[in-house]
Amino acid sequence: MRIIVGDPDPKHIAYVNQILGILNHQLVGSGVDATWMLTFARQAKPDIAIVYAHFTDIKLARTVQSLFQNGYVKAVIVGAKAPISEIELLNTMPNTTVVMRPFTVQKMAEAIATVTGTPIPVARPSAPRVQTPATAAPPASVKPTPTFDRPSFVR
């Protein structure tokens, strides 16, 4: 799916992009405020918009309504750090869900499945790893693989 993200924190946009990559979705644009995100949504015609609940330039409900009324997106996921006052209004809008941050791969997969009406992708079981002397312990120069339950960046 083609997805845009509106969030004032560029690090969070990069983190969401990592999650979308794991779920085989494409980030087609991002904006640091609601006005920019609406402008880009008009041009890119994404399937889903992921919107930060606490934008300061436009009220959240108005942003979500604009995305739908103008036909810019088919579904909206709202990310919130705390309960938001407009939750009841958002829950009455079709193809809209609120997800508490921080996002995880599982939360994002469930949210996308909820707003699109598609089943949650099931991870295929991987073959068991065999520990051999050569692979038992990584060299000290190898950095650990980041986990995706919080923002992480490998330098």
- What digits encode the pLDDT tens for the residues 29-66? 888 888 888 888 888 889 999 988 877 767 788 888 88
β-strands 26-31, 75-80 pairing: unpaired
The pLDDT value recorded for residue 140 is 55
Domains, the chain, with CATH or none: 2-116 (3.40.50.2300)
Q: What is the pLDDT of residues 82-137, one digit of tens each?
A: 667 777 777 778 888 888 888 889 999 999 998 988 887 665 544 444 444 444 55
Res 22 pLDDT > 80: yes
The pLDDT value recorded for residue 72 is 84
Residue with tokens 């609406």: 38
32, 8 contact by CB (below 8 A): yes
Of 2-6, 24-28, 121-125, the range with the lowest mean pLDDT is: 121-125
What span, in angstroms and rounded, lies between the C-alpha atoms of 30 and 111?
18
Angle between the N-to-C axes of helices 105-116 and 10-22, in degrees from 0 to 180, rounded to the nearest 10 = 70
